[in-house]
Amino acid sequence: MNLSQKETMLLQDQKSHEQLCIEKYTNYANRATDSNLKQMFLNHASQEQEHLNTINQMLNGQVPNLNQQSTGGTQNSTNSSMQNNSTPSNNSTAAAGMDNVADGKLCEDLLMTEKYVSNTYDTTIFEFKDSHAREVLNHIQKEEQKHGEDIFNYMNSKGLYSGQ
């Protein structure tokens, strides 16, 4: 695949976004107090690394096969365990409440990041002339949206985000 100057520039932007996402998810996994949240962040960091690898392949003129891409199956099991353990306890301590707020701040930042990254993929997809490349970028965007959904669901289950 021969990339236009604009396509190359957009992929370079996506590359920097993916690198930032990897950094944030990895750092925030180390800071999160909830073990389920830590695991979700690590799963997302791993997928962001896959996204970065894909972007690098595209920058080298190769369009990866979608069958080799992640399907996000590991996230679903993480979400199920989070939902099972997400009911706040009536015996919560003040420290646990503070931990919940700190984890909420990490989630807030990552949710805003995922909203932004998903939006930039939207623009990038529309600018690509190669339909297979567009499919690959769309697949990544869907995974970014799934990350945002996971974070939203976690926050909502902990009373940290209201859809109201």
Give the model confidence (pLDDT) of 15-50 as tens digits.
Answer: 999 999 999 999 999 999 999 999 999 999 999 999
The pLDDT of residue 68: 52
The pLDDT of residue 84: 39
Domains of the chain in sequence order: 5-86+95-157 (1.20.1260.10)
In the predicted structure, residue 108 carries a pLDDT above the cut 70: yes
Measure the CA–CA gap between 119 and 107, rounded to whole angstroms: 18
Residues whose CB is less than 8 angstroms from the CB of residue 61 and which lie 6 or more positions away in sequence, other chains included = 1, 2, 3
- From residue 3, how far is each of 11, 51, 57 by CA, in Å? 10, 18, 12
The pLDDT of residue 98: 59
- From residue 108, how far is each of 6, 24, 127, 131, 161 by CA, in Å? 32, 12, 29, 34, 9
Residues whose CB is less than 8 angstroms from the CB of residue 108 and which lie 6 or more positions away in sequence, other chains included = 155, 160
Give the model confidence (pLDDT) of 48-76 as tens digits.
Answer: 999 999 999 999 999 988 775 444 444 44
The pLDDT of residue 163: 65
Q: Which residue blocks in the chain are alpha helix, DSSP H?
A: 5-31, 35-59, 73-84, 94-127, 131-157
Q: Among candidates 60, 1, 49, which has minimal Cα distance to 23?
A: 49
In the predicted structure, residue 87 carries a pLDDT above the cut 60: no
The pTM of this model reads 0.81
The pLDDT of residue 75: 40
Q: What's the whole-number mean pLDDT along residues 128-150?
A: 97
Measure the CA–CA gap between 63 and 61, rounded to whole angstroms: 7
The pLDDT of residue 90: 42
